[in-house]
Structure 1
Amino acid sequence: MKPHTFWKQLQHRRCSTQGLTLVETLIAVVVAGIVIGGAGYGLAAITAANRTEDARTERRMEMSRALEFISDEVKSARGIARDPAGELTVQSPSFSLPSGAQLLMVVNTPRASESIVYYLAPPPTNSVWQGPQVLYRWGPAFDAAGNYSNSTTPTAWTGRPLLDLVANTPGAATCDTTNQTQIPANSANRRGFFICLDTDGDTQQGRLASLQLSSTFNRVIGGNERLNLNTQAFARNSSSGSGGGGLPPGLLNPSNNGDLTPPDDVSLRFQVLGGAIQCGTRDVPVTTDLYLTAPGATTATKVTLNPNSPLNQPPGTVERVRVESIARLSSVSCGSNFTISTGPGRPNSNNFRVLKNGDSVPNFVPYNNQASLDTFLRPILGADGRVRIRDNQVIYLFELGTTNTGSAAFDMQDNVVLVTVNPEQTQP
């Protein structure tokens, strides 16, 4: 073969085996990108959907556990307060509602010395709990067996988070206002947890409750999602009384004429509920003094109650308490002060009464259009007009205007004092 012929064939072969053109390469890159991008998006979407479903399932389980916990606690209770704010100071005097919190449930249980409280509040700053609202429970703690471990020491109870991510607004469910009491009463104040309490003739508390819970969680794609759950709970404990463990034997011995003689294993809490006495058109200041006798002491120490702040007396610090109420008439230029005191040999014992759970409220007409006695007792009155307090509480009523029981001024509502007894030893 001639040399020039060989070189021509070689050049022809080189042209026939050349690579893709630039256009072909670009088309291949675009097609591959579309295929890989589509596959990647599909994989990401599947992963996001799986993560969202996992989050939804976990949130629903947490909501279900919270509702189941509340339902179990209600089942062993006597009832739920229809007016939580109105009964809080009597049924749970050791509890203080945190600032910005919404009170929802006061659960009257016979297994603890005070009622259990549920409320909503924003999570604390820098907390692991997420908002907008957190559902809290204030009540006794639990031991390893699931029983209350400190049921008789409410001063040791703390508000513990039960569920976070509770919505700021309620779900679509509503209460039947004809047959149910809605808590909170104002629909505009409802948040992600509210209660529909069946009407059963008891104006103080109800037993059948519909618990409405609404929560949110973050989806991986698409923002927040709301979940709504509800359940019903029935307070099954129908035993008499209102819980609290009862009064210790001998605390109110009739021979003591109203004095308290507590054993050394109980604490005492004293609280002024209210009262009204006038001289003409002038309101008369009233003072409540406690004379506390320590174990082994021969003299008592006087402590004046602050009408705006309860007084707690630890166990083992007193063996006798005398309750004294004074109308400060001299401060409004209406004569000498008027004093009524409990205790043996004290005069005018008709001028005070001691009421326990189930007692009838004395039917006195208030003098000079003053507030009636049931005005101060309304938070603790049952539908039958009887006192509905816990079994470990007593109420003192004082008449401070006259000793004449036939007088129109004798109305037994000049001073109303509540005493709560909390046994400190753990009950079996």
Structure 2
Amino acid sequence: MKTSRLAALAAAFLACCAPAANAQSTEPSIPTGSLTAFPLIVQPGTKPKLTWTITYPSIVQDYTDIEGGNTVNPTEDLYVDIRILGAGVTVGNSSGSGYTFVPTRAEFSYDGGSYSEIFYGTNTQVQPSKIVKTQKVLKGKRLRFGGKYKYNNAWGPYFNSQSNTLNVRTLVNGDTPPSNVPQYNAPSLESFLRPYLDSSGRVKIGPMDVIVFMELTHYDSQRTDPGYDLQDMVLLCTFRTVTTPAP
């Protein structure tokens, strides 16, 4: 079902070199601070008192627990804004010279509720800067994710955070993705995912972000298959405290 990118390397090169105008910033926050001196006017032979104030950025691990590698459990009340970064299920063109993206569905479940659609479409319809779902999440009310693709008017396999498989994975900034995710310079890495990995292959997202990788065309028993690459649906979940203004 998922075609090799080697046959479409030229197209992939053009895609990855195009500017990601709609992509979210992947630069992590850094500490900020100030330095004050008292008194402001110092007489010769005396020393002022210097006071440092340093504010460290919040990180998502301070507010959530990642359970089982696929479920987010808030440890306090938060808001989450969910974006779609890419949908990578493809089929090869009949000419053998490229590939075509097929419709893919992303789903979201809150507090044990049913999984509901937050996106349905092809990768060409993805707008990474667009928030597709905003949810107030209360302490201890878990967030889960799922997805599937459609081809020839039939749905493919369905996977979610409760499938008891390794098809849905959640990571935070600085994590090393599963080895099935292609390396930063690999031709098989989807262009939409490249901005969210650094050159050493680690996840590069904001400090309050969680990235969700899904494999939808292969079962986890097929992890040695090149098609098992966890790029079939990729979500970005940005958490904020209840007092933080909406973006």
Give the TM-score normalised by structure 1: 0.37
Equivalent position of 1:286 in the other structure: 104
Q: CA contact under 8 A between 2:144 and 2:160: conserved in structure 1?
A: yes
Residue 378 of structure 1 pairs with residue 200 of structure 2: no
* Structure 1 residues 293-340: Cα deviation after superposition (integer angstroms, max 9, x where no partner): 3xxxx74462423643312223549922220111113xx25x542211
> How far 1:372 sits from its partner (Å)?
3.1
Q: Distance in 1 between matches of 2:166 and 2:195?
A: 25
The DSSP-based 3-state class of the residue aligned with 2:72 is: coil
Q: Distance in 2 between matches of 1:291 and 1:279?
A: 29
**RCO higher in structure (CA 8 A, sep ≥6):** 2
* Structure 1 residues 29-61: Cα deviation after superposition (integer angstroms, max 9, x where no partner): xxxxxxxxxxxxxxxxxxxxxxxxxxxxxxxxx
The DSSP-based 3-state class of the residue aligned with 1:379 is: helix
Equivalent position of 2:119 in the other structure: 305
> How far 1:249 sits from its partner (Å)?
4.8
Equivalent position of 1:323 in the other structure: 145
Q: CA contact under 8 A between 1:360 and 1:386: conserved in structure 2?
A: yes
CA 1:355–1:278: 2 relative to 1, 3 Å: same
The DSSP-based 3-state class of the residue aligned with 1:247 is: helix
Report the structure number with the largest CA radius of gyration.
1
> How far 1:288 sits from its partner (Å)?
0.3
Q: CA contact under 8 A between 2:181 and 2:230: conserved in structure 1?
A: no
> How far 1:377 sits from its partner (Å)?
2.1
The DSSP-based 3-state class of the residue aligned with 2:236 is: strand
> How far 1:405 sits from its partner (Å)?
1.2
Aligned pairs, number = 186
> How far 1:390 sits from its partner (Å)?
1.8
Equivalent position of 1:359 in the other structure: 175
Residue 109 of structure 1 pairs with residue 43 of structure 2: no
CA 1:419–1:402: 2 relative to 1, 3 Å: same
Higher strand share: 2
Q: CA contact under 8 A between 2:168 and 2:212: conserved in structure 1?
A: yes
Q: Distance in 2 between matches of 1:365 and 1:301?
A: 25
Q: Distance in 2 between matches of 1:259 and 1:249?
A: 14
Equivalence map 1:2-401=2 (5 Å): 86=20, 89-91=23-25, 109-110=29-30, 243-254=57-68, 258-281=70-93, 282-293=100-111, 299-300=113-114, 302-305=116-119, 307-308=126-127, 309-310=130-131, 311-316=133-138, 319-329=141-151, 332-333=152-153, 335-343=154-162, 346-347=163-164, 349-364=165-180, 372-373=188-189, 375-401=191-217
Q: Distance in 1 between matches of 2:155 and 2:58?
A: 40
Q: Distance in 2 between matches of 1:284 and 1:108?
A: 33
> How far 1:272 sits from its partner (Å)?
0.7
Q: Distance in 2 between matches of 1:354 and 1:108?
A: 18
Give the TM-score normalised by structure 2: 0.61
Letter in 1 for 2:160: S
Equivalent position of 2:236 in the other structure: 418
Equivalent position of 2:227 in the other structure: 409
The unaligned stretches of length 5 or more in structure 2 are 1-18, 35-53, 94-99, 121-125
Q: CA contact under 8 A between 2:106 and 2:119: conserved in structure 1?
A: yes
The DSSP-based 3-state class of the residue aligned with 1:261 is: strand
The DSSP-based 3-state class of the residue aligned with 1:419 is: strand
* Structure 1 residues 154-200: Cα deviation after superposition (integer angstroms, max 9, x where no partner): xxxxxxxxxxxxxxxxxxxxxxxxxxxxxxxxxxxxxxxxxxxxxxx
| Same amino acid, percent of matched pairs | 22
* Structure 1 residues 106-153: Cα deviation after superposition (integer angstroms, max 9, x where no partner): x853469xxxxxxxxxxxxxxxxxxxxxxxxxxxxxxxx9xxxxxxxx
Q: Distance in 2 between matches of 1:288 and 1:318?
A: 23
Q: Distance in 1 between matches of 2:148 and 2:74?
A: 24
